[in-house]
Amino acid sequence: MELVKRLTPESLGALPVDVAFPGYDRKQLLAGIVHLGIGAFVRAHLAAVNEAAILQTGDLRFGIVGVSMRSTETRDALAPQSGLYSLALRDVSAQGERRERLQVIGHLIEVMVAPENPGAVVERIAHEHTRIVSLTVTEKGYCHDPASGALLLTHADIVHDLAHAGSPRSAIGMLVRGLDRRRQDGKGPLALMSLDNLPSNGKLLRALVLEFAGLVDAGLRAWIEAGCSFPNSMVDRIVPRTTAADIDGISSRLGLRDAWPVVAEPYLEWAVEDRFVAERPRWDLAGARFVASAEAFERLKLRMVNATHSALAYLAASAGVATADAAMAMPFMREFLQRLVDEEIAPSLGHMPGVDLKAFGQQMLVRFSNPALAHKTQQIAMDGSQKLPQRLLGTVRERLAQGLPIRLLALAVAGWVRYLDGADEAGRPYAIQDPLAQQLAQAVADPVLVVHSRGAQHHRVAALLSFAPVFGDLGQSPSFVDAVSVWAELLKQRGVVATLAMTRAEHRPV
């Protein structure tokens, strides 16, 4: 039977006793945090930690105003609920029984939709209560070249934002225009905190903001450079896309209709540099760790967790396997990922005090295997052109420079090459969701890009790897191109499982 009664502040008292809910006075919340990109991930990570900090300290100055950068979906779902939503943490017991722990998050004050009123977003950043602006806009939301890290001055949104001060479209434009308003109004600087999977994400954000600001006003750039802080951070929690079945199941448990809950694993890690020019919440009381430098944690997350997650997704999606847990059950997949980590990724991380890399890698594969999440491989595979430079190619470069083998890393890259075919091994088509999908297709189709005397597959791979916005100068490395080409040919001719079998020590195809 469909539930008619909605999750609202007035209905909180009707929740089951095993569902946690905000016990503070929500009317007293101040909007100390503006978050750009209010998707599922931040609502399951930053918001979960922030909620716990509020509950432990009673400090109500750090409610969140979320900003949807494109879609009205989150606002339309949560506005009738006054921003309330439930977080479902799912895993399985040692006996294999699925478990779910529910909590209602209460400090999301408002969700704005940027395209509807970008000026209002600028004003919110400039508001006297704002202390922190955080971002989860994905790699492509930074309007930068993933290979070099430079701001794309030809990006349509950046071109627009430089010409239209009052109606910015990009995250960078909104930040700079909001900071400019603060400067004009005599308000203090802010901490701007990226939570996206980018190396030195705070440093990158700072460089992009300063470059844009310098094009607007040299004085503004100097004000931001002198006063604002950009802490680097590493965040880690698997958050699959919410499905209609999730909404129905969670609502049934609540006894109330929640139009937009989020689902996540219980595991959570967040290391953030303690560099906040204004005040900040006590996130350290709620599972986060404040650190002097997040660099080692970033490398650990990007190179070990994100790289292997991407490798799994491209290979599994090409084989027609829909979820990460099912992919982990494929023949030879777990063994391949374990060897990829142990032999080629972990050595690039160096010594990490307090972290047992072997145990971390094993725990990571257990997380990928969590059947309670049903994390879609196609979701993980999105935006590969933006992810590969950060997740895989940095390790490839270092190992090539040191004369070390890249055999297994090359297979991970070849998995992406195979994935770009747009159809799995059974011939079932899928859409390539990537901001550079058209350019990548053109790179492969253009016969002038590369001329070789070898087979068509080698031609295709060499053309793709010469695509500088993703690979930079790596496409000029014969050893890299040859290694990826051999694996790509095997994936095409023999399929994913047979190719994975060849990663075993007794097989040396590359």
Query: One-letter amino acid identity for 171?
Result: A
User: 12-32 burial, b for 16+ CB within 10 Å, e for fewer?
Assistant: beebeeebbbbeeebeebbbb
Q: In what order do the strands lie in the sheet with 85-92?
A: 98-105, 85-92, 262-264
Helix (H) / strand (E) containing 51: helix 46-57
Residue 433 and residue 419 in contact, taking contact as beta carbons nearer than 8 Å: no
pLDDT tens-digit map of 475-490: 999 999 999 999 999 9
How high is the pLDDT of residue 177? Answer: 98
59: CB partners within 8 A, 6+ apart: 53, 281, 282
Residue 48 pLDDT exceeds 90:
yes
Task: For the chain, give the percent of residues with pLDDT over 70.
Answer: 96
How high is the pLDDT of residue 453? Answer: 42
Residue 352 pLDDT exceeds 90:
no
Which whole number is the average pLDDT over 388-415?
A: 96
How high is the pLDDT of residue 505? Answer: 59
How high is the pLDDT of residue 508? Answer: 57
How high is the pLDDT of residue 355? Answer: 87
Residue 452 pLDDT exceeds 50:
no
pTM of this prediction?
Answer: 0.91
How high is the pLDDT of residue 41? Answer: 97
Which whole number is the average pLDDT over 275-283?
A: 96
**Burial tier of 274 (Cβ tally within 10 Å: 0-12, 13-18, 19+):** middle
Question: Any idea what the Cα angle at residue 139 is, between residues 223 and 444, rounded to 5°?
Answer: 130
Residue 138 and residue 36 in contact, taking contact as beta carbons nearer than 8 Å: no
Whole-angstrom Cα distance, residue 384 to residue 388? Answer: 6
Tokens of 240: 């699959």
Of 232, 235, 268, 271, which is closest to residue 354 (Cα–Cα)? 271
Of 461, 495, 509, 486, which is closest to residue 316 (Cα–Cα)? 495
* 180 three-class SS: helix
Which whole number is the average pLDDT over 128-134?
A: 98
Which whole number is the average pLDDT over 84-92?
A: 97
Residue 115 and residue 70 in contact, taking contact as beta carbons nearer than 8 Å: yes
In this structure, of 128-137, 237-246, 458-467, the range with the lowest mean pLDDT score is: 458-467
Q: Across the chain, what does the average pLDDT equal?
A: 94
Q: For the residues of 355-389, what is the DSSP string, one character each?
A: --HHHHHHHHHHHHT-TTT--BHHHHHTTHHHHHI
How high is the pLDDT of residue 27? Answer: 96
Beta bridge partners of 66: 35, 111
Whole-angstrom Cα distance, residue 458 to residue 466? Answer: 12
Tokens of 76: 């339309």
Strands 85-92, 98-105: pairing is antiparallel
Q: pLDDT tier at 450 (50, 70, 90 boundaries)?
A: very low
Whole-angstrom Cα distance, residue 462 to residue 473? Answer: 12
* Count of other CB atoms within 10 angstroms of residue 408: 21
Residue 431 pLDDT exceeds 50:
yes
* Count of other CB atoms within 10 angstroms of residue 369: 16
Whole-angstrom Cα distance, residue 280 to residue 46? Answer: 13
Which whole number is the average pLDDT over 344-355?
A: 89
Inter-CA distances, 87 with 43, 262, 483, Å: 8, 5, 43
How high is the pLDDT of residue 216? Answer: 97
Inter-CA distances, 371 with 96, 135, 297, 319, 332, Å: 9, 29, 27, 19, 18
Higher local confidence (pLDDT), 443 or 13: 13
Of 485, 486, 32, 82, which is closest to residue 260 (Cα–Cα)? 82
500: left (phi over 0), alpha (psi -120 to 50) or beta: alpha
Residue 319 pLDDT exceeds 70:
yes
pLDDT tens-digit map of 99-127: 999 999 999 999 999 999 999 999 999 99
- Backbone φ and ψ of 89, nearest 5°: -95, 120
Which whole number is the average pLDDT over 288-312?
A: 95
Residue 474 and residue 393 in contact, taking contact as beta carbons nearer than 8 Å: yes
Which whole number is the average pLDDT over 406-417?
A: 97
How high is the pLDDT of residue 448? Answer: 46
